């Protein structure tokens, strides 16, 4: 489970995959994005984690330049992107209010990012996306809203520890063990040597799963 690598003060090199293709029909599509390489790039000099002052990061499984394996689930605005889980934990984002879900079909576990959008202009499209997905929800489905786990009032003091302050974005993490996490990552500069984006981790939070009834309630709250 990769949540252990998303600890406050950890730096990463990673080019976030692009969003999926925009749609206006609310259909469910297969996630087509490819997981770009993500590597551990040491500890941040400004956003420091007290834990790393007493425990060497190598004892926690960190090694400079190590690869962090994951599968990528698209955010396909106006549609629902679906992915069969195949051995790796699944990461997706950015998250601003979309719901992430998990269910079983036979022996295969699927996860999905329900691609609603922000803004009053998208209310009709959001209704189409939600209605189409809810019609297909199996009885065993679970899910969560990662964006609710992090408040800007909580992230702002962390951002101000760095100069210039980064913009923190929330990602959803669905582990192969069935756990849900909300991960906050700060966007830094692009490394000119590698062409990869630098990120600074604010932390991760485990989120309780919603059952089918809870998801229906949550969908009805989305404009």
Q: Please, what are the averages of pLDDT over each run of 10 residues along the chain (223 residues)?
A: 94 97 95 96 90 83 95 98 96 97 96 96 95 95 98 92 94 97 96 93 98 96 86
CA diameter of the chain:
53
Burial class (CB in 10 A: 0-12, 13-18, 19+), 105: exposed
Domain of 177? 2-221
pLDDT at 55: 80
pTM: 0.95
Residue 49's pLDDT is: 86
Contacts of 171 (CB under 8 A, 6+ apart): 91, 92, 93, 94, 95, 146, 182, 183, 184, 185
If one counts the domains in the chain, the total is 1
């Amino acid at each position: 489970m990769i949540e252990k690598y998303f600890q406050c003060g950890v730096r990463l090199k990673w080019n976030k995959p692009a969003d999926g293709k925009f749609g206006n029909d609310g259909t469910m599509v297969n996630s087509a994005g490819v997981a770009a390489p993500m590597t551990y790039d040491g500890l941040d000099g400004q956003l420091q984690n007290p834990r790393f002052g007493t425990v060497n990061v190598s004892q926690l499984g960190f090694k400079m330049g190590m690869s962090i394996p994951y599968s990528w689930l698209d955010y396909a605005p106006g549609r629902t992107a679906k992915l069969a889980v195949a051995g790796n934990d699944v990461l997706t984002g950015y998250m601003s209010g979309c719901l992430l879900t998990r269910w079983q079909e036979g022996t295969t576990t699927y996860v999905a990012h329900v691609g609603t959008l922000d803004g009053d202009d998208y209310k009709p499209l959001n209704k189409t996306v939600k209605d189409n997905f809810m019609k297909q929800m199996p009885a065993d489905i679970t899910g969560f809203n990662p964006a609710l786990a992090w408040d800007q009032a909580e992230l702002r003091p962390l951002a101000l520890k760095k100069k210039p302050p980064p913009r923190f974005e929330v990602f959803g993490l669905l582990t192969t063990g069935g756990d849900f996490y909300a991960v906050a990552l700060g966007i830094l500069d692009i490394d000119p040597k590698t062409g990869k984006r630098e990120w600074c981790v604010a932390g991760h939070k485990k989120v309780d799963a919603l059952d089918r009834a809870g998801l229906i309630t949550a969908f009805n709250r989305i404009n």
